[in-house]
Structure 1
Amino acid sequence: MKSLTLMLMRCGAAGLLYSSVVAAAPTATVERAIDEQTAIEAAAQATQARIDQLDDRARAAVEAYREALQATDSLKRYNDQMALQLQSQTRELASMGDQLEELDVTAREIVPLLQRMLDTLVQFVALDAPFLQRERQDRLDTLQALMVRADVSVAEKYRRVTEAYQVEMEYGRTLEAYQAPLGGDDERVVQFLRVGRIALLYQTLDGDETGYWHPGEQGFVMDDHYHAAVRDGLKVARKQSAPQLLTLPLPAAGAGS
Structure 2
Amino acid sequence: MTKVINRSKIAAAVVGIMAVAGSATVAANVDLSRLQAEQTETHRSSAQSQERIDSLFEQSRELLAEYRAVVSQTEALRVYNDHVERLVNDQNETMESLQRQIDGIEETRRGVVPLMYRMIDSLDEFVQLDVPIRSENRANRVERLRGIMTQSNVTDSEKFRQIMEAYQAEMDYGVALNAYQGDLEVDGETISVDFFHLGRVSFLAQSLDQRNAWRWDNDAREWVELDSSYLNPLTQAIRMARNQTQVDIVRLPVPAPENAE
The TM-score, its normalising length taken from structure 2, stands at 0.68
For the Cα contact (< 8 Å) 1:210–1:226, is it kept in 2? Answer: no
Q: What are the equivalent positions in structure 2 for 1:1-257 lying under 5 Å apart?
A: 26=32, 29-76=35-82, 78-79=84-85, 82-83=88-89, 86=92, 89-90=95-96, 93=99, 97=103, 99=104, 102-103=107-108, 106-107=111-112, 111=114, 113-150=115-152, 152=154, 154-182=156-184, 185-186=189-190, 188=192, 190-205=193-208, 208-215=210-217, 216=220, 218-219=222-223, 221=225, 223-251=227-255
Taking every aligned residue pair, what percent have the same amino acid on both sides? 22
The aligned amino acid for 1:165 is: Y
Query: CA-to-partner distance for each residue in 1:74-114, whole Å, 9 max, x for gaps?
Result: 423542564466357547645754x367436625xx61x54
Structure showing greater radius of gyration is: 2
- Describe the SS at the equivalent of 2:181: strand
Tell me how far apart the structure 2 counterparts of residues 236 and 128 of structure 1 sit (CA, whole Å).
24
Compute the displacement of 1:142 (Å).
0.3
Query: CA-to-partner distance for each residue in 1:163-182, whole Å, 9 max, x for gaps?
Result: 32221122011101223334
Aligned residues: 239
- Describe the SS at the equivalent of 1:179: strand
User: Which runs of 5 or more residues in structure 2 are unaligned?
Assistant: 1-7, 257-261
The aligned amino acid for 1:179 is: Q
For the Cα contact (< 8 Å) 1:171–1:197, is it kept in 2? Answer: yes
- The two structures, once aligned, show a CA RMSD in angstroms of 4.0
For the Cα contact (< 8 Å) 2:204–2:216, is it kept in 1? Answer: no
Which residue number in structure 2 is paired with residue 255 of structure 1? Answer: none
